[in-house]
Amino acid sequence: MIARLLYTAFLFLITPLAVLYLLYRSRRQPAYRRHWRERWALYTRPLQPGQPRIWLHAVSVGETRAAAPLVRELQTRYPDHRILLTCMTPTGRATAEELFRDSVDIAYLPYDYPGAVRRFLDHYRPVLGAVLETEVWPNLVHGCRRRDVPLYLVNARLSDKSFRGYARLRSLVGPAFAEFAGVLAQSQDDADRLARLGARDISVMGNLKFDNLPPQDAVARGHRWHQQLGERPVLLLASSRDGEEALLLDALAGKTLPDQLLTVIVPRHPQRFDEVAALLDARGIRYVRRSSWDEQVLPAEVTVLLGDSMGEMAAWYALADVAIMGGSLLDYGCQNLIEPAALGTPVLIGPSTFNFADVARAALAAGAAWQGKNTEAVASRALRLLRDGAVRGRMRAAGLVFASAHRGATLRALSCLETRLTPQR
């Protein structure tokens, strides 16, 4: 109680910093200037009485895409309910709009002030909530508990690094974890760490991201690109983070490359598209941006294709002969390697995998991925793979089997949530 009061006082003290943060982010992403009132749960007009709402919270792009199978199953099973999907970032919101259009309500989750939590719950009146991954807001969790709104932590994961951070705030987050109606963890290791922080009613559900099948139109687009490029080998740096593009380009520069190699670089965050373009300009590398590419055959002197688009990750994986996962070359914890494996794209990862530790271990054990101790090792392995179709074929088959074997988390999550929902016939 005292810890939550101190936390709330701290939130009010840093309110000016929250405003400055939004202004700062809006310099590179103008979308941060929109929907400000929602961040404080200040709504311009009341909702019309109607369907009860099932609320899912997905902080950004990855969580929103992971939520898609669960959203669609809930829409099918509960047609008399309306889905409310909240997020925290403009890219998460844009992804939700792309995936669901107007079939769901989309809004920002307000900051964790008690008054904002109260206004949010008064406005939407959810009958059940599910927070994806590990978003723990003490006032929000407490507010739901006081309103008898069952709030679940779904697809929950907690790395050793995150556990150590939360453990330092145990007096604040311990009661919050304990107030969740239930916790559905991705793995037993995640469940054990969450239990040590005070979570109760924990079960292991697997990872929703295995159930999120790539959009077939995007996959077909990637295959079409591959045909247009002919015999050119394609190396993909997927969802790259700050500093990783330069590392990979340096590693490739000193090696003998396959004839007409095309390197595709897709930065994780759209605000970095221009930054990566400037890096390529500074190095004198001939490149084409996806935003200006008419999907025609690229001249041989173009050696880099810059993926400066949103919502095409599945197409890039379908195009690639080998994919290097961004976030793993430097200490960012890796990005999601399930999607390329599900498409049969051989996956290479660097040393940093703490965000997907269990998935990475399973993929490596299955032969769907290979891990290098540094960027130099990863680049060398990538070039060998591009020259060895037989090994790529074995990794492709292993990836398909690996992804298929781990599906089913959506149904396990639904079986838990349905204990608090009455099916509508």
Contacts with 413 (C-beta within 8 Å, 6 or more apart), sequence order = 70, 130, 154, 155, 184, 205, 208
**Residue showing tokens 């130099």:** 376
d(CA 313, CA 164) in angstroms, rounded, equals 32
Q: How many CA atoms lie within 13 A of 83 on its CB side?
A: 26
- Among 63, 244, 245, 312, the active-site one is 63
Show the tokens assigned to 367.
């032969």
d(CA 154, CA 16) in angstroms, rounded, equals 32
Show the tokens assigned to 132.
């994806």
Residue 254 backbone phi and psi in degrees, to 5: -95, 15
Closest CA to 363 of 332, 312, 315, 323: 323
User: Is the Cβ–Cβ distance between 116 and 40 less than 8 Å?
Assistant: yes
Residue 262, SS3 per DSSP? strand
Q: Count CB-CB contacts under 10 A for residue 260.
A: 15
* Active site (annotated) includes residue 339: no
Which residues are bridge partners to 232 per DSSP?
Answer: none
DSSP codes joined into one string, 166-210: HHTTHHHHHHHHHHSSEEEESSHHHHHHHHHTT--SEEE---GGG
d(CA 115, CA 91) in angstroms, rounded, equals 26
Active site residues: 63
